[in-house]
């Protein structure tokens, strides 16, 4: 997990350096607490390129978990066969096609169940991003 980085000032370059300084991994999880970062304080990439031992390794964003803006509920986001989906148990729906990666770097909110005031926003909530090596 890229949680235990030495300082709280995280940038994409510092994440790449962090990965370069450790043994090669198949996947990594990047998590961010909304209280520690301002909205749009850094761009969330869909891929990372890491150079190690003369080789270049690429990690792509595959899935995510996002907590709602009131810090009470989580929703899940996956990529399956190149298509994006979301799941929110509160909405009592199955996995739904949802272009979640388009919302990564926008301060926009959404919800899945009209009867609940549960909103999600990558820029205003805790999230976990799951990247795997291709």
Q: Which two tokens stand for residue 49?
A: 């390129």
Distance of alpha carbon 47 from alpha carbon 51, whole angstroms? 13
With a cut of 50, which residues of the chain have pLDDT below it? 4-6
Q: Torsion over CA of 33, 39, 40 and 45, rounded to 10 degrees?
A: 20
pLDDT at 67 (0 to 100): 92
pTM of the model: 0.82
CB atoms inside a 10 Å sphere around CB 61: 20
């Amino acid at each position: 997990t890229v949680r235990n980085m030495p300082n709280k000032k995280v940038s994409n370059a510092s994440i790449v350096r962090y990965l370069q300084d450790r043994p090669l991994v198949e996947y990594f999880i990047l998590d961010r607490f909304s209280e520690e970062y301002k909205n749009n304080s850094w761009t969330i990439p869909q891929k990372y390129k890491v150079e190690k031992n003369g080789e270049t390794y690429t990690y792509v964003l595959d899935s995510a978990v996002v907590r709602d803006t009131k810090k009470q509920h989580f929703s899940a986001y996956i990529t399956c066969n190149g298509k994006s989906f979301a799941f929110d148990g509160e909405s009592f729906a199955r996995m739904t096609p949802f272009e979640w990666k388009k919302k990564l770097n926008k301060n926009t909110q959404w919800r899945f169940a009209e009867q609940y005031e549960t909103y999600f926003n990558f820029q205003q909530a805790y999230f976990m991003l799951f990247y795997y090596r291709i």
